[in-house]
Amino acid sequence: MNNLSVEHLTGIKDLTKEDIELIFKTADSFKEVINRPIKKVPSLRDITIANLFFENSTRTRLSFELAEKRLSADVVNFSASSSSVKKGETLIDTVNNILAMKVDMVVMRHPNPGAAKFLSERVKTKVINAGDGTHEHPTQALLDAYSMREKLGDLTGKKVVIVGDILHSRVALSNIYCLQKLGAEVMVCGPTTLIPKHIGELGVLVEHNLRKALEWCDVANMLRIQLERQDLKYFPSLREYTMLFGLDKEMLDSLSKEIIVMHPGPINRGVEISSDVADSKQSIILQQVENGVAIRMAVIYLLASKIGR
Ligand code: CP
């Protein structure tokens, strides 16, 4: 298969296993490109991409911009805080105005779940979801699974625990879909208040004891507590959360096997993960960031190949 089964990347839920394998195979070639002295290919010289960020971002925004530039696309960046959205313009009007300037593809981060899908159904451009509220963050899940695969090989039967604020996490949902499509077993771990009540229906295991979860897994993906999305108190204090669900070096070293530690960033050092774990040889946090550029190049390249040009 040389083509994705989808016209946009709004969520992992819509992808097939073959789509994910194709993205990984394409990312392998781009990873080789970005490690050359000249980290650039001319593939998308005729394409213009707009990065629309209605929410804060460091990694995703820079990673998409670098991916686009490494593919030689023209890039424009839009930040809601300094735009006419502040004057009451709707999302569709904003995007249609940007498209009138001959933009071929839109990468969008938005606080509302479903925003990317909504947009993809209403505008004539390719849409990539760079995170929509608490819903999905598909390129994060792809880069996470790609990074796991680099370390462990085929993910069939591998055990991955996602720890922390599952309730508010778009990374968790996209990871669950992606890992299950690749044959991995997924567990979520955290306080009862931060685990959605019906998450078992997605086929994941639920564990509230961090040590038991870590003894079970090959990979622990530690999530940030998203205080900015919490409208009420889900646990008594950050200190108590860290005592029960924070991963420190003592816990990591006491496990019966060596596990891989991941984090999508941004890290709250000393809350969900201690500094010595984040910087340990078992942590692949910076490899995740590196792989993010290759994965985003692959997604952009594959979707651009579907634009009639
Ligand atoms: N992982 C992630 O989405 O980070 P940013 O919010 O910095 O983009």
- Domain ranges within the chain, ordered by starting residue: 12-137+289-304, 138-286
Question: What is residue 234's predicted lDDT score, i.e. its pLDDT?
Answer: 83
The yes-or-no verdict on residue 199 having pLDDT over 80 is: yes
d(CA 185, CA 51): 34
Question: What is residue 190's predicted lDDT score, i.e. its pLDDT?
Answer: 97
**The pair of three-digit structure tokens given for residue 107, joined into one six-digit string:** 């990468």
Give the Å distance between the CA of 134 and the centre of ligand 1.
13
% of the chain surpassing 70 pLDDT: 97
The yes-or-no verdict on residue 82 having pLDDT over 80 is: no
Give the Å distance between the CA of 265 and the centre of ligand 1.
6
Q: Whose CA is nearest to atom 3 of ligand 1?
A: 60
Averaged pLDDT, 73-90: 83
Question: What is residue 230's predicted lDDT score, i.e. its pLDDT?
Answer: 65
Q: Do domains 12-137+289-304 and 138-286 have the same CATH topology?
A: yes
Residues near ligand 1 (Cβ within 6 A): 57-61, 131, 137, 140, 264-266
Q: Which of 55, 58, 108, 288 to mutate to test the pocket of ligand 1 (most atoms within 8 A of CB)?
A: 58
Question: What is residue 133's predicted lDDT score, i.e. its pLDDT?
Answer: 96
Averaged pLDDT, 190-213: 97
| CB proximity list for 214: less than 8 A, separation 6 or greater | 161, 220, 247, 251, 252, 255, 259
Higher pLDDT, 266 or 234: 266
Question: What is residue 64's predicted lDDT score, i.e. its pLDDT?
Answer: 98
214 phi and psi angles, rounded to 5 deg: -70, -35
Averaged pLDDT, 101-115: 95
Look up the CATH superfamily of 12-137+289-304.
Aspartate/ornithine carbamoyltransferase (3.40.50.1370)
Concatenating the DSSP letter of every residue in the chain gives: --S-S-SSBS-GGG--HHHHHHHHHHHHHHHHHHTSSS----TTTT-EEEEEESS--SHHHHHHHHHHHHTT-EEEEEEGGGSGGGGT--HHHHHHHHHTTT--EEEEEESSTTHHHHHHTTSSSEEEEEEETTS--HHHHHHHHHHHHHHHSS-TT-EEEEES--TT-HHHHHHHHHHHHTT-EEEEES-GGGS-TTGGGGT-EEES-HHHHHHH-SEEEEPPP-GGG-SS-SSS-HHHHHHHH-B-HHHHHHSSS--EEE--S---BTTTB-HHHHTSTTB-HHHHHHHHHHHHHHHHHHHHTTS--
Question: What is residue 233's predicted lDDT score, i.e. its pLDDT?
Answer: 80
Give the Å distance between the CA of 60 and the centre of ligand 1.
5
Task: For residue 58, give the ligand 1 atom closest to its CA.
Answer: 7
Averaged pLDDT, 269-295: 97
The yes-or-no verdict on residue 156 having pLDDT over 80 is: yes
| CB proximity list for 252: less than 8 A, separation 6 or greater | 214, 259, 261, 277, 280, 282
Task: For residue 131, give the ligand 1 atom closest to its CA.
Answer: 3
Which of 147-151, 172-176, 198-202, 223-227 bottoms out in mean pLDDT, i.e. has the lowest? 223-227
Q: Which residues are catalytic?
A: 59-60, 87, 109, 137
Give the Å distance between the CA of 308 and the centre of ligand 1.
31
Question: What is residue 209's predicted lDDT score, i.e. its pLDDT?
Answer: 98
Task: For residue 137, give the ligand 1 atom closest to its CA.
Answer: 3
Question: What is residue 85's predicted lDDT score, i.e. its pLDDT?
Answer: 72
pLDDT range class, residue 232, cuts 50, 70, 90: low
The closest of 85, 60, 66, 256 to 143, measured between CA atoms, is: 60
- Pair 107, 50: CB distance under 8 Å: yes
Question: What is residue 164's predicted lDDT score, i.e. its pLDDT?
Answer: 96
d(CA 68, CA 91): 23
The yes-or-no verdict on residue 67 having pLDDT over 70 is: yes
Mean pLDDT of the residues in the chain: 94
Q: Which of 54, 55, 56, 60 to mutate to test the pocket of ligand 1 (most atoms within 8 A of CB)?
A: 60
Other CB atoms within 10 Å distance of the CB of residue 147: 22
The yes-or-no verdict on residue 229 having pLDDT over 70 is: no
CATH topology of domain 138-286: Rossmann fold (3.40.50)
Give the Å distance between the CA of 19 and the centre of ligand 1.
23
Q: Whose CA is nearest to atom 5 of ligand 1?
A: 57
The yes-or-no verdict on residue 231 having pLDDT over 90 is: no
Question: What is residue 170's predicted lDDT score, i.e. its pLDDT?
Answer: 97
Task: For residue 130, give the ligand 1 atom closest to its CA.
Answer: 3
Residue with tokens 């941004």, as numbered in its chain:
266
Task: For residue 264, give the ligand 1 atom closest to its CA.
Answer: 1
Q: Whose CA is nearest to atom 4 of ligand 1?
A: 59
Which of 184-188, 199-203, 304-308 bottoms out in mean pLDDT, i.e. has the lowest? 304-308
Give the Å distance between the CA of 35 and the centre of ligand 1.
23
**Residue 280 half-sphere exposure, CB side, CA atoms within 13 Å?**
22
pLDDT range class, residue 128, cuts 50, 70, 90: very high
